[in-house]
Amino acid sequence: MIKLVGIHKSFGRQKVLDGLSLDIEDGKTTVIIGGSGGGKSVLLKHIIGLLKPDSGQVLIDGVDIASLNDRDLNEIRKKFGMLFQEAALFDSMNVMENVAFPLREHTGKKEKEIREIVKEKLKAVGLTGVEDKMPSELSGGMRKRVGLARAIAMQPQIVLFDEPTTGLDPVMTEAINELIVETQRNFDLTCVVISHDVQSIFTVGHKIAMLYKGKIVEYGTPEEIKSSSDPVLRQFLSGSLEGPISVI
Amino acid sequence: MNKIAATVDNFGRAILENIEEMGRILLLFLSVLMWMVRPPLKLRLIFKQMEFVGVKSIFVVVLTGTFTGMVMALQGYYGFKMFNAESLVGSTVALGMTRELGPVLTALMVTARAGSAMAAELGTMRVTEQIDALYVMAANPVKHLIVPRVIAGVLMLPLLTVVSDFMGILGGYFVGVPVLGINSGAFISNITKLVDLGDIYHGLTKAAFFGLILSLVGCHKGFIATGGAEGVGRATTEAVVLASVSILISDYFLTAIMF
Ligand SMILES: Nc1ncnc2c1ncn2[C@@H]1O[C@H](COP(=O)(O)OP(=O)(O)OP(=O)(O)O)[C@@H](O)[C@H]1O
Ligand SMILES: [Mg+2]
């Protein structure tokens, strides 16, 4: 169980998270939505301890991760997989080495077995025959999918996806959503997905949370969200310029 | 009055910042030492860095070493000729190269070539979240990225210095004997008489230390880079400047200690 309690985070004078609290249920997919620059990626980085809150707590199975030493934090991180918004592939390594990285690092598996797993994960994200390519030789969408394969390579219990479908074509978007739903169901994963794509939100989410002005302003099942009367949420889902969210 | 106060204030701040940075580099060094003794060492990464720092620097080191030896012979000849001691040119070149110029010039060249590349590479990894990705996969960046570079720096600099020393003496011989007409036997026998192994060790010890400085500074600057491509550029420049200055300053103190 991931529990965020009263998280405040500022960068310099800019306040990004302002007393945010959120419970993320085990074995479910929670989708976080919110405006661009609203702090969704920052929120995700708090969950895995890449950023430390100015105040407030991130509890994972009841343990405040800020209080952990490196070794214990690493033990917790091994349960996680994460897809970064810009994929964050190692550009000194080819695709095979990228996806194999966590396997080589943390499992005693044989080289042959690792290659099998990598091929299988790449196939799951719709990539074949790219094992020897370098990240710089891939398109943005392909990079994202390699990042996805790397995130799920270790069969983690918790997976954090930062915009898994942004920049993909509609068919590929559907396929990746399907992949997330399937893996989540088959392995009973806890998933946290950041998404802008209204269609995807309702396909993959069991729970949806709306981040606005540093707080979660609305939280509920897709049905609850669809029928919510919260003006911020209404405006966000309809993509209208009229409403409390001022853009320009 | 206000102006003076502001100047003092700025000056003090700059000094404090420098001290803080020094402290950070020292802490990074301690953590490198800690990860170095924790197996498994990433041999493949170490060899890759040794190739990059060492093998690929040979050409510039040969070039700078040779020409430095040549110019030293030329300048030495000019001085020694005044009191008919031209045969001392060889030993002057050899002492100068092994004790001082070999290690320092090699370190400066490798700083420009490899120290800058370390800062640029780690800086890019920092701003594109690749370092975050390492953390997320429970892999320590110091162990994966910095330890191999520091080991390569410390091991390869003395080796490159040997090359530089040798080429410098060779260059000196080439200018001294065939060009300036110094007696070949006297040139060589003065070298063997006046240069002992201690001088060479002295130079190689310094070289290893310079290798440590340039790799630590390069990695540190890259590791803390922020702000996109511009930030990476800044980190690279700062790394080269700080490493070069540190090498020249520490050179004096190391020499004074080992004199
Ligand atoms: N390391 C950082 N240093 C300074 N400011 C930061 C840092 N990371 C994020 N920010 C700021 O925090 C705010 C939230 O950023 P974040 O990346 O979380 O947005 P986001 O909700 O993920 O947006 P998008 O949907 O466009 O990805 C931004 O205004 C950004 O400028
Ligand atoms: Mg984001």
Shortest Cα distance, chain A CAs vs residue B221, angstroms: 19
The domain total for chain B is: 1
- Residue B116 to chain A, least CA–CA distance (Å): 17
Point out the residue among B128, B130, B136 whose CB comes nearest to the CB of A48: B136
User: Residue B136: which of A50, A91, A106 has the nearest Cβ?
Assistant: A50
**Arithmetic mean of pLDDT, A75-89:** 92
Residue B118 lies in a domain: yes
Kindly state whether residue B21 falls inside one of the protein's structural domains.
no
For ligand 1, atom 18: residue with the closest CA: A39
With a cut of 90, say whether residue A108 has pLDDT above it: no
* Rounded percentage of chain A residues whose pLDDT exceeds 70: 99
State the pLDDT at residue A246.
76
Given a cut of 70, whether residue A180 has pLDDT beyond it is: yes
Whether B61 is in a domain gets the answer yes
Distance A48 CA to ligand 2 centre (A): 15
The answer to whether B241 contacts chain A (CB < 8 Å) is no
Pocket flag, ligand 1, residue A41 (CB < 6 Å) = yes
Between helix A95-106 and helix A140-152 the angle, nearest 10°, is 20
SS in 3 state form for B40-55? CCCHHHHHHHHHHHCH
A82 touches chain B (CB under 8 A): yes
Q: Do A50 and B135 touch (CB under 8 A)?
A: yes
Closest to A15 (Cα-Cα) out of A34, A39, A33, A36: A39
Note whether A102 contacts B137, CB cutoff 8 Å: yes
- B236: CB partners within 8 A, 6+ apart: B116, B119, B120, B123, B221, B222
Q: Helix, strand or coil for residue A56? A: strand
Which-ligand-closest: CA of A16?
1
> Does residue B185 form part of some domain?
yes
Q: Above 80 in pLDDT, residue A70? A: yes
Query: Closest approach of chain A CAs to the CA of B35, in angstroms?
Result: 13
Mutation target for B interface from A41, A76, A92, A159: give the one with most B CBs within 10 A: A92
Establish whether residue A17 lines the binding site of ligand 1, counting it when its CB lies within 6 angstroms of any ligand atom: no
In order, the DSSP letters of A180-223 are HHHHHHHHT-EEEEE---HHHHHHH-SEEEEEETTEEEEEE-HH
What's residue A199's pLDDT? 83
The per-residue pLDDT of chain A, averaged, comes to 91
Q: What is the ipTM of this complex?
A: 0.91
| B126 occurs within a structural domain | yes
Answer whether A9 contacts ligand 1 (Cβ < 6 A).
no
- Domain membership of residue B181 (yes or no) is yes
In a domain, B174, yes or no: yes
Task: Flag whether pLDDT at A233 surpasses 90.
Answer: no
- Residue B3 is predicted with a pLDDT of 86
Instruction: Measure A82 CA to ligand 2 centroid, in angstroms.
Output: 13
Phi, psi of A94 (to 5 degrees): -80, 180
Given this model, what pLDDT does residue B225 score? 95
* C-alpha Rg value of chain B to the nearest Å: 21
Predicted local distance difference test score (pLDDT) of residue B41: 78
Q: A91 at the B interface (CB within 8 A)?
A: yes
Long-range contacts at B37-43 (CB < 8 A, ≥ 24 apart): B38/B143, B41/B147, B42/B143, B42/B144, B42/B147, B42/B148
**Predicted pLDDT of residue A88:** 94
Any domain includes B36: no
A residues 117-146 near B, CB within 8 Å? none
Residue B192 touches chain A, beta carbons under 8 Å: no
Q: Which domain holds residue B89?
A: 42-258
Decide if B120 contacts B235 (C-beta within 8 A): yes
Question: Which residues of chain B are modeled with pLDDT < 50?
Answer: none
A216 contact partners, CB below 8 Å, separation of at least 6: A20, A21, A22, A209, A210
Q: Which helix (H) or strand (E) holds A20?
A: strand A14-24
Identity of the residue numbered A85: Q
Distance A15 CA to ligand 1 centre (A): 10
Selected residue of A44, A98, A105, A159 to mutate for chain B interface (largest B Cβ count, 10 A) = A105
Give nearest CA residue, ligand 1 atom 28: A37
Which residues on B lie below 8 Å from A91 (Cβ)?
124-125, 128, 130
What's the gap in Å between A2 CA and the centre of ligand 1?
22
pLDDT attached to residue B147: 95
B104 vs A247 pLDDT, higher one: B104
Q: What percent of chain B has pLDDT over 90?
A: 74
Question: How confident is the model at residue A220, as a pLDDT?
Answer: 92
Q: Is the dihedral of CA A240, A243, A244, A246 positive or negative?
A: positive
* Residue A28: pLDDT over 70: yes
